[in-house]
């Protein structure tokens, strides 16, 4: 999915809107709850303040003032108290006779109290209630003035007007609103940054696009014949497709953490890419593994392993080898056929039509019989194609390559990789052809190379005999060394390769040679539990 399908701000806006809605709801409920609790606490504190003021005035000795000087001091003292208490609107002192001894409105001092008379029955000496007065709705507190015997001789009234209480509530609401808006702004800024970070972590894709890509990737990886296994930096398996599970023999009892550490921890530690590494720690020994480290920001965060079934590669190599050798055979036969065509053209120009027809039939018979004989004797296509191609190549070099009488190879009798057989036989025949092509003996010798292959259940014998110049005794002990050659640069690996392949398969390779007579190579395999790969 290309960048044109991305909506860089879609996810960010969606996350931002969701978080903004959540934050607004949270701020709203917290604000309402805070206001409710605050108003309840403020109401309790207000009542307590009214009661404390009323009781403090009721306990003052000045309330008993009788002469004019004492009453003057009473008014001055309670005026000072009222001025200091900004949240108290009215303080009034009333005697048993119903006359106001003090009132914040001095015009009412000495006049009769016309409001609700407090009830101090049942030993109650102070309380707060709602009421109505000349100034409107109010919250008032009553406190009893008692003498030394405990008898009530008047009361004190402390008042806060409801309009002032509403003003305080509105101020509290404004404060809470400002705090809520500030908190909302901070939370929205944080949510915006968070949504941007999430968008960045999703590589700019929308969640639906990202999930669709994940499903497509999963489908692709599950459809692969190759196994794919991925692990994090600790070696714990994070993904494994069904092909990998099948190749590795994973079941419900498999410890995936240990499996990932065994397969990929080395790659995580070294950070080096490895290809076509044989994986011997799995049930199927024909598994090859590519290991690739995963880097993010220059740091290794995991590794991916790709498992290949070597059997499929071998089969493909066998098919390609067979085709290659057939092409080589056709190329070599091209020269031989050109010569034969020249013979046919000459016979036709001489008007020897019968001889030309007979010659053509003879060529076709010999060619057909030669190919058919090899194909009947060897049922491994790649190996048969190799022998046919080498026969044509030998003819170009004036060497007669002969399939030994009684030769035969059946794949069912011994399980050996056909690619390995092609390597062994091809290098031995090429080595013999090179030796005979370089033969500088004075006498004329018909060059002949005899190839034999004999299989039986659990055993195989391959022989390549030539009548070339032979190998000297000093060179005979070194011909299997890597790089040793008597042919110049670019040679010296064929026989070494043969020896390496034969020994890896548990076979034996031997050579006998006599200078001026020829050389004989033999390769034998015996029943030792070879497995076809």
Q: Are strands 400-403 and 448-456 parallel, antiparallel or unpaired?
A: parallel
Q: Three-state SS for 402?
A: strand
Give me the pLDDT at residue 391, please: 82
- Choose the weakest-confidence range: 25-29, 261-265, 382-386: 25-29
Q: In 3-state terms, what secondary structure has residue 443?
A: coil
For residue 199, give the H/E element and its range.
helix 162-201
Count of CB atoms within 10 A of residue 166's CB? 11
Edge to edge, the sheet with strand 448-456 lists: 400-403, 448-456, 459-466, 518-525, 508-514
Q: Looking at residue 529, what is its pLDDT?
A: 43
Average pLDDT for 482-509: 75
Closest CA to 291 of 220, 230, 221: 230
pLDDT band with cut points at 50, 70 and 90 for residue 6: very low
* Cα 426 to Cα 423: distance, rounded to the nearest angstrom: 5
Range of lowest pLDDT (244-248, 361-365, 372-376, 424-428)? 361-365
- Residue 116 confidence (pLDDT) above 70: yes
Q: Residue 7 has what pLDDT?
A: 44
pLDDT averaged over every residue in the chain:
78
User: Quick one: DSSP state of residue 196?
Assistant: H
Two tokens, residue 104: 């914040």
- What is the pLDDT, as a whole number, of residue 286? 67
The number of angstroms, rounded, from the C-alpha of 427 to the middle of its chain's C-alpha atoms is 47
Confidence band (pLDDT; 50, 70, 90) for 161?
A: confident
CB 433 within 8 A of CB 399: yes
pLDDT over 60 at 528, yes or no: no
User: Which secondary structure element, helix H or strand E, spans residue 476, and what is its range?
Assistant: helix 473-476
CA distance 506 to 503: 5
Residue 522: the pLDDT is 93
| pLDDT at residue 520 in the model | 92
pLDDT tens per residue, range 85-105: 878 888 889 888 888 888 888
Please state, in angstroms and rounded to a whole number, the distance separating the CA atoms of residues 122 and 132: 25
Q: What is the pLDDT of residue 530?
A: 42
Q: What is the arithmetic mean of pLDDT over 496-500?
A: 85
Instruction: pLDDT band for 524, please (50, 70, 90 cuts).
Output: very high
Tokens 């005999």 label which residue?
Answer: 465
Where residue 148 falls among pLDDT bands split at 50, 70, 90? confident
Whether residue 416 is predicted with pLDDT greater than 80 in this model: the reply is: yes
- Mean pLDDT, residues 446-462 taken together: 89
CA 492 to chain centre: 47
Question: For the residues of 395-419, what is the DSSP string, one character each?
Answer: HHTT-EEEEPTT-BB-TTTS---HH
CA-angle at 447, arms to 441 and 451, nearest 5°? 135
Mean pLDDT of 12-41: 74
Domains of the chain: 13-169 (3.30.450.20), 226-310 (3.30.450.20), 399-525 (3.30.565.10)
C-alpha–C-alpha distance, residues 386 and 422, integer Å = 7
Q: Tokens at residue 463, please?
A: 């022989």
pLDDT at 249 (0 to 100): 79
Query: Is a pLDDT exceeding 80 seen at residue 485?
Result: no
State both tokens at 47: 């009542």
Tens of pLDDT along 327-340? 555 555 555 666 66
pTM of the full structure: 0.39
> Which of the residue ranges 136-150, 337-351, 367-381 has the most confident prediction, judged by mean pLDDT?
136-150
**What are the pLDDT digits (tens) for 45-92?**
888 888 888 888 888 888 877 777 888 888 888 888 888 887 888 888
**pLDDT score of 523:** 93
pLDDT attached to residue 147: 84
H or E element, residue 269: helix 256-270
Decide: helix, strand or coil at residue 92: strand
- What is the pLDDT, as a whole number, of residue 533? 34
The Cα–Cα gap between 509 and 480 comes to 10
Separation between Cα atoms, residue 423 and residue 427, nearest integer Å: 6
Given a cut of 70, whether residue 273 has pLDDT beyond it is yes
């Amino acid at each position: 999915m290309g960048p044109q399908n991305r909506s860089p701000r879609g996810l960010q806006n969606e996350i931002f809107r969701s978080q903004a809605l959540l934050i607004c709801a949270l701020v709203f409920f917290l604000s309402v709850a805070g206001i409710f609790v605050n108003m309840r606490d403020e109401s309790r504190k207000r009542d307590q303040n009214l009661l404390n003021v009323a009781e403090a005035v009721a306990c003052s000795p000045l309330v008993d003032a009788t002469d004019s000087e004492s009453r003057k001091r009473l008014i001055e003292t309670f005026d000072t108290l009222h001025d200091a208490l900004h949240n108290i609107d009215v303080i009034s002192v009333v005697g048993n006779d119903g006359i106001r001894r003090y009132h914040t409105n001095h015009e009412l001092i000495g006049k009769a109290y016309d409001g609700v008379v407090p009830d101090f029955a049942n030993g109650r000496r102070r309380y707060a209630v709602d009421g109505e007065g000349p100034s409107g709705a109010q919250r008032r507190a009553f406190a009893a003035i008692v003498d030394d015997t405990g008898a009530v001789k008047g009361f004190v009234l402390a008042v806060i007007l409801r309009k002032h209480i509403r003003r305080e509530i509105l101020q509290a609401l404004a404060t809470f609103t400002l705090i809520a808006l500030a908190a909302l702004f901070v939370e929205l800024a944080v949510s915006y940054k968070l949504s941007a970070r999430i968008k960045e972590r999703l590589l700019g894709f929308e969640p639906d696009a990202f999930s669709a890509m994940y499903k497509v990737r999963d489908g692709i990886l599950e459809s692969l014949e190759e196994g794919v296994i991925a692990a994090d930096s600790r070696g714990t398996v994070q993904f494994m497709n069904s092909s990998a599970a099948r190749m590795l023999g994973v079941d419900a009892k498999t410890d995936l953490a240990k499996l990932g550490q065994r397969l990929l921890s080395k790659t995580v530690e070294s950070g080096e890419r490895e290809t076509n590494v044989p994986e011997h720690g799995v049930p199927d020994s024909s598994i090859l593994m590519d290991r690739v480290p995963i880097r993010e920001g220059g740091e290794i965060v995991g590794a991916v392993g790709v498992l290949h079934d070597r059997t499929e590669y071998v089969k493909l190599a066998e098919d390609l080898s067979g085709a290659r050798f057939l092409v080589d055979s056709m190329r070599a036969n091209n020269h031989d056929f050109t010569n034969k065509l020249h013979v046919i053209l000459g016979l036709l120009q001489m008007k020897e039509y019968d001889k030309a027809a007979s010659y053509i039939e003879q060529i076709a018979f010999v060619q057909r019989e030669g190919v058919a004989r090899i194909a009947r004797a060897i049922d491994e296509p790649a190996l048969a194609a190799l022998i046919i191609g080498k026969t044509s190549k030998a003819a170009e070099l004036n060497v007669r390559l002969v399939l030994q009488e009684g030769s035969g190879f059946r794949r069912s009798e011994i399980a050996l990789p056909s690619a390995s057989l092609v390597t062994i036989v091809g290098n031995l025949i090429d080595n013999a052809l090179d030796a005979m092509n370089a033969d500088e003996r004075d006498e004329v010798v018909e060059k002949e190379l005899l190839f034999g292959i004999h299989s039986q259940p659990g055993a195989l014998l391959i022989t390549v005999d030539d009548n070339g110049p032979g190998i000297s005794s000093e060179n005979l002990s070194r011909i299997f060394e890597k790089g040793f050659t008597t042919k110049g640069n670019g040679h010296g690996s064929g026989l070494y390769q043969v020896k390496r392949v034969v020994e890896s398969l548990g076979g034996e390779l031997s050579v006998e040679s006599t200078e001026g007579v020829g050389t004989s190579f033999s390769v034998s395999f015996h029943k030792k539990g070879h497995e076809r790969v």
